[in-house]
Amino acid sequence: MSASDRSECRGWHAAAELLTKDEGAPLALLGAPLAERSLTPGRCDLAPGRVREVLKRFSVYDLEAGLSLDALTLFDAGDLDLKAVSPADAFTPIRDRLAALTRNRELTLLLGGNNAVTWPGVHGLGPLERTGLVTLDAHFDLRDTDCGPLNGNPVRCLLEDGLPGANIVQIGLAPFANTRRMHETARANAITVFTAADVRERGILEVIDAAIGTLQGRVDRVYVDFDIDVIDRAQCPGAPGARPGGMAVTDFFAAARRLAAWDRVKAVDLTEFDPGLDVADITALTAGRWVCEILAGYAGRGGRA
C-alpha cells in the first residue's frame, strides 16, 4: 500500500518517512552531535536524534503553498561519532564526511551539535575563495581563537583560514549579545551585517534577497548556518544562547525556505539546539519544521514544485 492510499486514521505520510538508507537519494542528512568545548555547556549532542524523532509529527504537505514533499528522499547518513571529541579533533571527520555527501548532491543538511560544526562544514564545500557563508545567528561568532576552536568562534576560524570576509553575510545579530570589538572585526573584514532590528524593519525576505544579491557575483557555492538561538527566546526555550527580542520563528522558517531555493546553497546546518532545555517540545518542533522548510525551498528549485 502506498503512503497516499494509507488510512489516515492509522497515520499519515510523515516527513520522517522521507529519510532513507539509499545512498543514491538526491539529498542527504548527517548528524554531527558535537558538544565539547562549548561556551554554553549542555546537551546539544542530543539534537540530531531528537530532530529525527520529531519528524514523525510532520506531514509532507504544505496546505498554504499547495506543495507536497512526498517525491523527495534524503539519505540518512547517520551520526558521526563525536562523543567527548573536541572541535579541533572533530574538524576532519565533519569536513570529510560532508565533502563526500555534497560531491554528487545538490543539498546536504547537517544537524549539530554546537555551532563549532560550522567551521569544518564550510570547509567541506571546497576552496574558501569561492565559497559563501550566510549565518542566521544572534552572535557574530568572532571570539578570539587563542583558546582553540569553540562554538563561539567558527566565523573567526574561517576568516583565519582564508574565507574572505566579503563572502560572509550575517543576519539577526542581537544587541547586548556581542561586543564592540566583534563588530569592529566584522566591519574591518567587510562582512555584511543585518541586525535583528534590520530584519524587523525591512522584512526577512528583503534581507535574504539582499544577502543573495551580495554574494551572487562572488561565490560559486554557499553554506548556511542556522543557529537556532537567533529566534526570540520565548519562542525557542531549548536554545541556550537565545535572547528576548530575537527573530520571530515565522521569519526563521521563511528564511530557510528562501535560502534553500537558491541553487548555490549546497549545505545547511542547524545548531545550538539543546533538547535538555526544551519546554513542551517547542524547540524540537521548531527544528522539525525547519527541516520541512528546507525541503520545501529545495523543491522549488528549477520549477520542481
Query: What residues does each domain of the chain span?
Result: 15-303
Cell digits of residue 125: 564545500
Assigned C-alpha cell, 157:
576560524
The confidence score (pLDDT) of residue 104 equals 92
**The predicted structure's pLDDT at residue 2:** 58
CATH 3.40.50.1000, applies to 15-303? no
Query: CB pairs under 8 A, 24+ apart, for 239-242?
Result: 239/272, 239/273, 239/274, 239/277, 239/283, 240/40, 240/42, 240/272, 240/274, 240/277, 241/40, 241/138, 241/139, 241/177, 241/272, 242/138
**Can you give the pLDDT at residue 222?**
98
Question: What's the confidence (pLDDT) of residue 305?
Answer: 45
5 burial (CB, 10 Å; 0-12 / 13-18 / 19+) is exposed
Please give the grid coordinates belonging to residue 209: 534577497
Instruction: For residues 128 and 136, give the distance between their C-alpha atoms in angstroms, rounded to a whole number.
Output: 19
Q: Cα(292)–Cα(267) distance, rounded to whole angstroms? A: 15
Whether 131 and 220 have beta carbons less than 8 Å apart is answered as yes
Q: How far is Cα 248 from Cα 250, in angstroms, rounded to an integer?
A: 5
Identify any residues that bridge with 68 across adjacent strands, giving them in sequence order. 61
Q: What is the pLDDT of residue 88?
A: 96
Residues in the chain with pLDDT values less than 50: 1, 304-305
Predicted TM-score (pTM) of the model is 0.95
